[in-house]
Amino acid sequence: MEEKDIFLQTWMKDAALEDIYSKVLEGKRLSREDGIRLYQNPNLLAVGKLADIVRRKKNGNYATYVYNQHINYSNICLNRCRFCAFGKDENAHDAFELSLEKIEEAIQQRMQEPVTEIHIVGSIHPKFSYAYYLGIIKTVKRLRPKAILKAFTPVEIAHIAKLANMPVKDTLQELHAAGLDALPGGGAEIFSHRVRQEMCPEKLSGEEWLNIMKTAHRLGIQSNATMLYGHIERIEEKVDHILAIREAQDETQGFLCFIPLAFHSQNTPFAYLPTTCGIEDLKNIAVSRLLLDNVLHIKAYWIMLGLKLAQVALSFGADDLDGTIFEEKIAGMAGRTSPDSLTVKTLQNLIQEAGFIPRERNTYFYSIKKG
Ligand code: SF4
């Protein structure tokens, strides 16, 4: 055995992770108990090293970013989830809604830039019609026919289906035909019924969220998946959430990437909760990487993590930083301290300084070669 391997094995033994280390080397699937042990293990560097082994096997020495534009069409929301600082009542001073003309204007403002992805999410608006949502898709596709449109979380899709008075499957088919290419991964929060009752009782159940995603995947609409951590969830609930994604992925292979999202409590009834610490953020990235053997990419979403930690996360299992963004409002209203957009140069520098090779990708994680 090489000196390096002896060192690693001893290190893992000291961290009481030798058996998981063997499974990782052999490419074996980790169990629920393994996931709980990894979360409970205080040796962050050992857990991170295990995740890094998997990350390098799957994605080599590359870290990706996307040239994207975010548009939030409204924050006026019927659901008013307790953890959400973005959703507002109609008469709130900071409520907003964008007409289709305003959405067109937002896209026009960036027309000189090589945006490859338009990411659109909003709220459960009390008045917008089905035609409005179709109008968003048609507006984007008219102005940016080559960009990939990733829009509407399962929570919005369920609402749009009600407006359309059609089953979710038929609605998705119609939206897809109009130009919807992919779904973002939001709205998953934590699937646990206990947590959802406390934090977002009006929202879809975890099972409904998964069913909408699986329906989309079967229609050829791929998506991301998320997990919101750092609030009232328990370790077991996080592991069960990740394993539910893994199970769905075994069925459909439709998830492009998984995004652990750090909870920002400011301006919510949970403001008494501290901001997540770096240890917790990195642990969530690493354990997700280790448990999700069938999801190729793990995103360190710099908007939520901050730039410095997102950079470090690339050595703890993450292989993607998301993108240029532009005008992020959701975390902004919950007290985010990171900027709301980045240049490609900054993204490339962040990746290079972390010791990885930057690669621009599209929504489906295909490389975009320049020049
Ligand atoms: S999380 Fe989504 S559904 Fe819930 S209040 Fe916020 S915008 Fe509305």
How remote is the CA of residue 22 from the centroid of ligand 1, in Å? 42
How remote is the CA of residue 82 from the centroid of ligand 1, in Å? 9
What domains lie within the chain, and their CATH numbers? Answer: 3-56 (no CATH), 61-361 (3.20.20.70)
Which tokens is 49 given?
A: 């090293």
Going by alpha carbons, the residue nearest to atom 2 of ligand 1 is 123
How remote is the CA of residue 62 from the centroid of ligand 1, in Å? 34
Blockwise average pLDDT, block size 10, the chain, 371 residues: 81 93 97 98 97 98 96 95 94 96 96 96 97 98 98 98 98 98 97 96 96 98 98 97 98 98 92 94 98 98 92 98 78 63 92 97 91 50
Q: Kindly give the residue spans of alpha helices, DSSP state H, lying in the chain.
A: 3-14, 18-26, 32-40, 44-59, 100-109, 130-143, 154-164, 168-178, 193-199, 206-218, 235-252, 278-291, 302-305, 307-313, 344-353
The pLDDT value recorded for residue 326 is 77
**Ligand 1 contact via 79 beta carbon (within 6 Å):** yes
**Ligand 1 contact via 63 beta carbon (within 6 Å):** no
The pLDDT value recorded for residue 117 is 97
Backbone angles phi, psi at 135, to 5 degrees: -65, -40
**Ligand 1 contact via 158 beta carbon (within 6 Å):** no
How remote is the CA of residue 205 from the centroid of ligand 1, in Å? 13
Backbone angles phi, psi at 295, to 5 degrees: -110, 125
The pLDDT value recorded for residue 314 is 98
The pLDDT value recorded for residue 341 is 81
